[in-house]
Amino acid sequence: MALKASQLKLGDQHEAVVVRELSRTQIVQYAGASGDYNPLHTDEVFTTQVGGYPSIFAHGMLSMGLTGTMLTNYVGDGRLTKYGVRFVSQVFPGDTLTAKAEVEALRSEGGQHFVDLKLSTVNQDGKEVVTGSASARIDP
Amino acid sequence: MVDRFPVEAGHIMLFARAVGDINPIYYSDEAAKQTEPGGMIAPPTFVQSSAQFEPDYGLRPKIGERWFGSGKAASGSNAEPPAQVAPRSAGGGSGLHAEQHYEYHRHLKPGDVLHSVNKPGKTWEAEGRRAGKLKFSESITEYYDQNDNLVITARSVGVQTERPVAQG
């Protein structure tokens, strides 16, 4: 179900809710899977009393991973060639995130077609938490 | 730098669960056979879990050593947090992840055995509205497979903040 160059146009958009009311437990799952056990992400006592933050917050890489599920569902398995993000705002427990991709360019190199996408993930208040870009191989 | 990062199906499954991805290509060999890649692959940010295989990774408790997170006390262990990655004192700044970029030369699959090479990148400073002086530093990590082929190029930007990021 790959994207087709012939059916895409600039400005086309795809969006998906990638997490609803993020739980502390999902952040713990991410720490366990990724191996990043920074207490700022899972240890409320340390984070509020020593770190000076109002609460633990998600790994930036969890927001990138969540955004990535929208992306791979859109472009298809194994089609990504580039994926990059900036972490604009922190993501906190309870946040609901919506990730969006917008077609920014369609190009071909050596007979292979590619799409370039602009990415943006926002929380339940419409505040941007991740911005980024991605490229993927697409069919003619 | 990682000498040996074996990519395993069970680890891919745990990672996919953690990022809330239900795509069967990350869970089942049988299901993955029906997909375009023809077998299981790893999610696009999976390579970040190479931290599991870094012997001296500072953000993992080491067996038999004190940990800087809370125990009975807020910073329970009396151990100093690693300078670049965690707060040093109450109200102090901390190391945060600012950007992450990947270039995929091919996608990872179970059975791959990776090793990585780190290259320093640029460093720069900026004045932030929400966290004081910001010191950015970039690092490039190249991941090679068991045949010494470059599979993923990663560029990471870290930022050391002067104080915790103000909210709002």
Q: What is the ipTM of this complex?
A: 0.97
CATH number corresponding to B5-56+83-161: 3.10.129.10
Tell which of B2, B96, B97 to mutate to test the A interface (max A CBs under 10 Å). B97
Phi, psi of B48 (to 5 degrees): -60, -25
**pLDDT value at residue B136:** 92
pLDDT at A9 > cutoff 90: yes
* pLDDT at position B77 over 70: no
Q: Which two tokens stand for residue B58?
A: 């500072």
Would an 8 Å CB–CB cutoff place A26 in contact with chain B? yes
Angle between helical axes of A24-34 and A60-75 (0-180°, round to 10) = 90
Flag if B167 and A54 touch (Cβ within 8 Å): yes
Which residues of A, range 42-81, sit inside 8 Å of B by Cβ? 43, 45-46, 49-54, 59-62, 64-66, 68-69, 71-73, 76-81
Dist CA B1 CA B9 (whole Å): 22
Quote the pLDDT of residue B89: 38
Measured in angstroms, the CA of B53 and the nearest CA of chain A are apart by 9
pLDDT > 90: percent of chain B: 64
Mutate to test the interface with A, among B2, B48, B138 (most CBs of A within 10 A): B48
Interchain CB distance below 8 Å, A77 and B99? no
A52/B91 CB distance under 8 A:
yes
Of B17, B41, B57, Cβ closest to residue A77: B41
Q: Output the pLDDT for position B93.
A: 56
In whole angstroms, what is the distance from residue A114 CA to residue A119 CA? 16
| B5-19 mean pLDDT | 98
Question: What part of A 78-117 touches B (C-beta under 8 Å)?
Answer: 78-87, 90
CATH number for region A5-22+58-138: 3.10.129.10
Q: Report the C-alpha gap between B155 and B6 in whole angstroms.
A: 21
pLDDT of residue B166: 82
Residue B81 has a pLDDT of 57
Six token digits for residue A116? 């370039």
Phi/psi region, residue B64 (left: phi>0; alpha: psi -120 to 50; beta: rest), is left
B31: confidence class by pLDDT, cuts 50, 70, 90: very high
Q: Which residues contact B56 (CB under 8 A, 6 or more apart)?
A: none
Q: Which two tokens stand for residue B42?
A: 């790893």
**Average pLDDT value for residue range A113-133:** 98
Any idea where the domains of chain B sit in the sequence? Answer: 5-56+83-161
Cβ atoms of residues B117 and B144 within 8 Å: yes
Closest by Cβ to A52, choosing from B41, B59, B92:
B92
Q: Is B79 exposed, middle or buried (0-12, 13-18, 19+ CB in 10 A)?
A: middle
Residue B94 is predicted with a pLDDT of 66
| B165: chain A residues, CB-CB within 8 Å | 53, 90
Q: List the structure tokens of A61.
A: 């890489």
The reported pLDDT for the residue numbered B84 is 45
Q: Tens of pLDDT along A57-90?
A: 999 999 999 999 999 999 999 999 999 999 999 9
**Per-residue pLDDT band at B129 (split at 50, 70, 90):** confident
Counted residue by residue, chain B has a size of: 168
* CB < 8 Å to A85, chain B: 99-101
pLDDT in tens, B133-164: 899 999 999 999 999 999 999 999 999 888 88
Is the predicted pLDDT of residue B18 greater than 80, yes or no? yes
Q: Would the CB atoms of A84 and B20 count as touching at under 8 Å?
A: no
The string of pLDDT tens digits covering residues A17-60 is 999 999 999 999 999 999 999 999 999 999 999 888 999 999 99
Q: Is the pLDDT of residue A98 over 50?
A: yes
Amino acid at A111: G
Does residue B92 register a pLDDT over 50? no
Question: Is the confidence at residue B91, as pLDDT, over 50?
Answer: no
How crowded is the C-beta side of B120, counted as CA atoms within 13 Å?
5
- Kindly report the number of other CB atoms within 10 A of residue A86's CB atom: 18
The answer to whether B48 contacts A68, with C-beta atoms less than 8 Å apart, is no
Partners of B91 in the β-ladder = none
Using an 8 Å CB-CB cutoff, list chain B residues near A26: 18, 20
Q: Round to whole Å and give the CA distance between A104 and A117.
A: 5
Residue B82 has a pLDDT of 57
**What is the C-alpha to C-alpha distance for residues B29 and B109, in angstroms, rounded to an integer?**
11
Q: What percent of chain B has pLDDT over 70?
A: 88
